[in-house]
Structure 1
Amino acid sequence: MSDPSSSNPSQAQRLREQERARIARDLHDELGGQLTGIGMALGQLREQLAREKHPWLPQVDYAQQLLQQASEGMERIIDDLHPAIVEFGLVDALTWQCRHFSRQSGLDCKLQCEPGLQVSDEFVVLSLLRILREALNNAARHARARHIEVGLHAEGERLHLSVSDDGCGLDPQRALRGGRPGHGLTNMRLRAEALGGSLALAARPGGGTVVRVDVPVTH
């Protein structure tokens, strides 16, 4: 008996995202709880060793540093698997992503959004958030952009997302054919198609690149 998801890319992608969300929850609940318990135990041990001025105190401090690094690594993995921000809807998710990207990269990244726009389907929100992340990373790493404008608006029964940068630009046709490896454009295009939409690249007037995503509106 054939798997129905094998002939339905959208359904297959939804199932993958559901599994990623399950793994993220398990990591948070199981491993997160264990790391918290280890941290409490190390804290109590450090207090005891500090009172005794024990020579092993530096080792406990080192263990706490490793634990902090492990916790931060786990949070990054969880965020990659299933960002918690998607539960707040599309506008909040994209707004958060633009602000987070600006803080991390130091680049100017602004979101212009149609007032009152609401999209709550987590699969749609997550897919567009992943597309935006990839587009922002491309603009920072490959295009060497300094300013990025993100636009989001609905028109009829279609939702439009655009990411425009002032970077060095690229040949849109060559890039979509796979001429520029490392840009993640194939994944971005597949995510758009899984939503029943499309992804296109265009040269930005004055220099740079515009990524345009067009998908059906889902409320």
Structure 2
Amino acid sequence: MLNVYNTLRRKKMAFIPRKGNRIQLFVCGPTVYDYSHIGHARTYVAFDVIARYLRYKGYDVFYLQNITDIDDKIINRAREAGVSWEEIADRYTKAYFEDVQALRITSVNKYAPATQYIDAILRQVRTLLEKGYAYELDDGIYYDVSRFKNYGKLSGRTVEEAEDTVSRIDEVMGKRNKADFCLWKLLKPGEPYWESELGKGRPGWHIEDTAITETEFGPQYDL
């Protein structure tokens, strides 16, 4: 019997995969605007070991990792360097894979660049709007954290605490809550964009992982 720490329950519990012997594992990958550092290496080596161990124990593991290849940080770095955002994303994606190879990380089944999931992102944003969990401002569409009563339960933080600690929160006028985050950023001059019925724009950082995992795994996964 394999026991793992359940973050929601705050204790070790028997690990029982949702689908027999198959484990769906997702790890948030890098935002490719710069070279990886030791913190990145620690995370990806750790999960490489975990995936290998689970396979050693006889589990059928599918390990999915995203690549954030569109983001404010990438756009800003491209401006600083005087090159396109695509060039920055491509340069540091290649650098990341060189690091992965050097660290002998071999357990990932699929790397999923966010820009390949724009349709899935738009579907999720539309659904959140229709259900009243998101709202529109002049610069984009935002998630309303107050509409989700269990927001912060997994991390153990209240909404008030999250407002001061969650990263990549846009400071804009008109938000309902300070911790509300942007799902779809409307076009600004000189920035990349995709055409959509929600307006020309690009995804916010927080929506990318959920769109990728729902596409590849469905609404739930194991780890």
TM-score (norm: length of structure 2): 0.28
- Give the number of the structure whose alpha-carbon radius of gyration is greater: 1
TM-score (norm: length of structure 1): 0.28
Structure scoring higher RCO (CA < 8 A, sep ≥ 6) equals: 2
Structure richer in helix, relative to its length: 1
